[in-house]
Structure 1
Amino acid sequence: MPTYNKLVRDYIPKIIAETGKKYSSKILDQTEYIKELRKKSYEELDEYINATNREEALEELADLLEIIYALAESHGESIEKVEELRRKKAEKRGRFKEKILLIDVEK
């Protein structure tokens, strides 16, 4: 039996059960949950980085966004609060639209 030990989406156990397979799982406490969400964010980012086409890239971005939603909630905030903070940073420091690569800065 393969061992995964990773955070999965809510319906995955049901989907597995519908195939007739047995599985084991557990419900995480808040500290474990945040730790696993952080690990999952790396996993999803790696999948995005390794996507070989636009469709795969967008799928992985959607997964990353789902993780960001969950992380915001796990910290007691809404995605709207995260978006508000993102907007404020964009107003103050800009976005990434100009594609600027900073090479160096004089001391």
Structure 2
Amino acid sequence: MPVYHKLVRDLIPQMIEATGKTCVTSILEPNAHLREIKTKMQEEALELQEATSKIEAVEELADILELVHTALAIYGVTYEQLEQVRVLKREQRGGFLQGIYLIEVEE
């Protein structure tokens, strides 16, 4: 029996059982849940980096966004509050749309 020890989407256990298999799961407490969200975020970011098509990239971005929404719920922060922080940072420091790549800074 394969062992995974990783965070999965909420409907994955039902999907596994629908195939006639059984699985063992547990519900994480908030601190462990946040830790696993961060781990899953890294996994999804690597999958985004490896995406070779627009469709694959959008799928990985959707996974990352789902993780963001889940983390916000655990932190007790709304998406609107996150958006306010994003807008403020963009106003103060800019966004990433221009693709500016910093090479070096002389002292």
User: Which category describes the TM-score, using the shorter chain as reference length?
Assistant: over 0.9
SS in 2 for 1:69: helix
1:88 and 2:88 aligned: yes
Matched with 1:32 is 32
Distance in 2 of aligned mates of 1:42 and 1:86:
20
Number of aligned positions between the proteins: 107
CA deviation string 1:64-107 (max 9, x = no partner): 11111111111111111111100110011111111111111221
Report the alpha carbon displacement of residue 15 of structure 1 after superposing the two structures with TM.
Answer: 0.8
Matched with 1:52 is 52
After TM superposition, the score normalised by the length of structure 1 is 0.96
Matched with 1:3 is 3
Matched with 1:69 is 69
What do you get for the CA RMSD once the two structures are aligned? 0.8
Give identity over the alignment, percent.
Answer: 43
Extract unaligned runs of 5+ from structure 2: none
AA aligned to 1:88 is L
- In the TM superposition, structure 1's runs of 4+ consecutive aligned residues that sit over 3 Å from their partners are none
Matched with 1:78 is 78
Distance in 1 of aligned mates of 2:45 and 2:97:
20
After TM superposition, the score normalised by the length of structure 2 is 0.96
SS in 2 for 1:45: helix
